[in-house]
Amino acid sequence: MLSAEPLRARHRALGCAVLVVVLIAGCGTSGPGSSSRAIVKSRVPAHASRHSLAALRSEANQLLGGGVNAFSARLVGLRGYAVVVNVWASWCPPCRAEFPYFQKVSAQLSRREAFVGVDTLDSSSAAHRFLAQFPVSYPAYEDPSGAVGRRIGTLGGVPVTAFYDRRGRLVYLHRGPYTSERQLLGDIAQYSRV
């Protein structure tokens, strides 16, 4: 019979193994998962700039450089708006499957919601071809090393959609692809009001 300490060690090892499997799951998995962080209600600042959304629309379908610093600066510049960040890669079949939903929804909501893309662990040429096939009304940041994705919390799997509140705080991560426009709109309705 095992004593209590070796049994605890076996349970910890099993728990670590399960965590590793969860962390490496991502593109190509059979079902999406979601995680939620503490959701804190906030008010929209009176000084929110309409120019921020206009700037996003003026960079529609462009790939932007600058890495984590440029992405972080963009989030700061969008304070006052809820921000939807879709992390994708051209080589990811689930990303391709959900992209038409982002095309349509972002076109409908781009005058009141902020959308930003992050093309992670991808080549610039493949990303350009992908955006030529699936143009969107917002820019995407190039993330060839995955640093921006890691900052958001992709944990190696895409697609991931991050929702930031009007104060610039990450309030929700949707892991895996959206399977309908309605599902995406539901999360935007829920998390853009936070």
For residue 190, the model assigns a pLDDT of: 94
Cβ–Cβ under 8 Å, residues 63 and 127: yes
As beta bridge partners, residue 90 has none
Helices (H) and strands (E) in the chain, counts: 7, 7
Q: Are 121 and 143 in contact (CB under 8 A)?
A: yes
pLDDT at 25: 39
Burial class of residue 133 in the structure, from the number of CB atoms within 10 Å of its CB (0-12 exposed, 13-18 middle, 19+ buried): exposed
Which range has the worst mean pLDDT, 39-43, 71-75, 93-97? 39-43
DSSP letter (8 states) at residue 59: T
- Identify the structural domains of the chain with CATH numbers, from first to last: 4-191 (3.40.30.10)
Q: Provide the whole-model pTM.
A: 0.75
